[in-house]
Structure formats: structure tokens, C-alpha cells
Amino acid sequence: MGKQRVLSGIQSSGKLTLGNYIGAMKNYVALQHEHDCFYMIADLHAITVPQEPAALREQSESVAALFVAAGLDPTQAAIFLQSHVSAHAELSWLMTTMTYMGELERMTQFKDKSEGKEAVGAGLFLYPSLMAADILLYNANLVPVGDDQKQHLELTRDLAGRFNYRYGETLVVPEPFIPKVGARIMSLDDASKKMSKSNPNVGSFISLLDSPDEIRKKISRAKTDLGREIVFDVPNKPEISNLMTIYAQCSGQTLEQVQAAYEGQGYGAFKKDLAEVVVQALEPLQQKYADVRSSGEIHQILRDGAERASAVAETTLNSVKEAMGFVAKSR
């Protein structure tokens, strides 16, 4: 594989979870040395549900600092805020005009987030067109995401193809980059739902900034299945299989190794060890996070990142506008 362009993003709508880390951020870090990477804090996506201004500002800076704390090197990867690069909002409108209502109505994330709500913002509906713009602006070949973003990626690919068909080859059709293990970390209280920072039950997710004692408490209360064996069997033992996935991803072991290590042992012993494995995996990240926040370096990192991102994004936006027939300013 030659050097590829990589883009991904995480919404700044709450605290990041272990699911974000395992499903997406670990791959951000793994890709940064081989490829040309752009990692974005999706603050424009965050406002598709109401956000309190001070909280939004704090969360956006916090997510940026977590990117660095998780091991992203800002001299390699560009780390930036979506709202700092105005081309995102602009291409989003152009992509919206190319997106069919039916395509947006089929999005499972929209159905989940709007279900049972009285006033659903139009931004929530149009969210996938903005996400397509994010990716297409950077001519990204690879998009590291968790499993739940597959459908949005598919729409992005369709939009790129539709654009190229109507207006001539302009946009790169991206590929999702999804981990084989850990693409969908489930809730600690219900393994049929994905672990999510927007779950009102805080016991259902582990935040990357939870203290060791909170992590121990949450894991000791995590739901388990009937029986007592530690075996990886998603249909029959969904809860334990999820905990084993977390164990494997945080310790660097394979699922087979985890299963072999706990043969003949019960849930209690396994959970106790799992808590320590998670605490240890998060300890260096939390330490680095505290350093990054107290140094104030994040502002310069975001300024540099936005400058690098804007240069690429503006070029693509201009090609798109030219292809669509907008009159160039310089004429």
C-alpha cells in the first residue's frame, strides 16, 4: 500500500468512550506514520443536537487533547476543528443538493436519534451530507471508523460516484477502514446496544477520563451471561464476549489468548483482571491528557492543523465549484 490520504472525525458532543478509542482512535494512531492523515473534531456535527455553548467549547478542546493523549503526533497528523475550515459547511450544501431524501431517510443513525422525538432538527437529517463533504474535501482514500459509520461511508461513496458521473472525474471514492476486532464495543449494561457517550446511564460506558475507581466499579457491575465460563461466543454469550473484546484490545492479546488464560475460571476473577487491564491501558493516556491540557499547547496545534487542512480543502472545493458551473471569482 503506497502513501494514502486518511481522514476521520469524532463529534465533540460528550466525553469519549472506550468504544471510540478501540473502534476508531487506535487506528488513527496506527495509520499516522505511514499515511497523510487528517483528524477532525466534528463540532459542526455535534450541534445536530442542542449543545450548551460553554460545554461545546470545553468538549471540543477536550477531544482535541484526547487525540494527542492517545498518541497522535501533531507534527505528523493534522488535528483540527471542523468549524475552523469553512469549506466543510460550504461543500456540505453542495453535497446536500446531490443527496436524495430517500437516502437520508434510510440512515439507521437518523432513525435511532430521531425516534420518539417531537422536534427533530433538520441538521440531524442532513448530517450524512456534511460527513460526505468532510471526507471528500481531503480526497481521502481511507476512513478509519467503527462499524456504525459503515452506512454513512456507503452514502459518501455513492455521492462521490454520482458527482463524478454528472460533472466529470473530480472526487476520490473513499474506503472504510474498520478494525477486525473491536469495531463495535457494546454497552456494559446491555450487549445488544453499542457503547455510547450519549447513553443516560453512565454505568453503561467507560469514559477515557474515568478514574481507576470508577472503572473498577463499572466493570464489577457490568452485566454477564448465564453460566460461568469465559468463552467467546457472541450469539450465546454476548455480554462476556464484549468484555473479552475489551480485554483483548486493551491488553494487546488475541481473543484466543484471553479465552485460554481464563479457562476454568469464573466471571469474578475475569472481571477483576479486566478492570486492571483497562485501568493500565488508560493510565498513560490520562497522564498525557492532563499535561496537554495544562500546557495550553492545544490552541497552537489546532491553529496549525486548520491551516494544513484548509489548504487541501480549499483546493478541492474550488475544483468542485468549477466542475458544477459556478463562476470563478478571478474572472
- Ranges within 190-209 binding ligand AMP (CB under 6 A): 194-195
Q: Which three cell numbers stand for residue 106?
A: 434510510
Bridge partners, residue 39, by sequence:
8, 79
Pick the closest to residue 219 from 198, 240, 238 (CA basis): 240
- d(Cα 216, Cα 230) in Å, to the nearest integer? 19
148 contacts ligand AMP (rule: CB under 6 A): yes
Residue 8, interface with ligand TRP (CB under 6 A)?
yes
Closest CB to ligand AMP among 285 and 320?
285
Least spacing, CB of residue 35 vs ligand TRP, in Å = 15
Contact between 257 and 37 under an 8 Å Cβ cutoff? The reply is: no
Q: Is 194 a catalytic residue?
A: yes
Pick the piece of the chain touching ligand AMP (CB under 6 A) from 14-22, 169-177, 235-243, 280-288.
14-22
Stretch 102-131: interaction string toward ligand TRP, x if CB under 6 A: -----------------------------x
Q: Which of 29, 87, 95, 145 binds ligand AMP (CB under 6 A)?
A: 145
Dihedral class, residue 182 (left if φ above 0, else alpha if ψ from -120 to 50, else beta)? left
Q: Which of residues 131-170 bind ligand TRP (CB under 6 A)?
A: 131, 134-135, 143, 145, 149, 152
Instruction: For 21-54, give one letter per residue: b (16+ CB within 10 A) or e.
Output: bbbbbbbbbebbeebbbbbbbbbbbbbbbebeee
If one asks whether residue 178 binds ligand TRP (CB under 6 A), the answer comes out as no
Q: Between vectors from CA 160 to CA 157 and to CA 165, what angle results, nearest 5°?
A: 125
Inter-residue contact 207 to 17 (CB < 8 Å): yes
Comparison of 149 and 249: residue with beta carbon closer to ligand TRP: 149
Binding mask 26-45 for ligand TRP (x = CB under 6 A): ----------------x--x
Active site annotation includes 197: yes
- Please say which residue, 10 or 240, places its beta carbon nearer to ligand AMP: 10
Contact range with ligand AMP by CB under 6 A, out of 146-154, 232-240, 241-249, 286-294: 146-154
By C-alpha distance, which of 185, 201, 169 is closest to 21? Answer: 185
Residue 111 among the catalytic residues: no
Strand order from edge to edge, sheet including 36-42: 78-81, 36-42, 5-11, 142-144, 175-177
* CB 194, min distance to ligand TRP, A: 11
Q: Which residues bind ligand AMP (CB under 6 A)?
A: 10-11, 19-20, 22-24, 145-146, 148-149, 183-185, 194-195
- Catalytic positions: 113, 194, 197
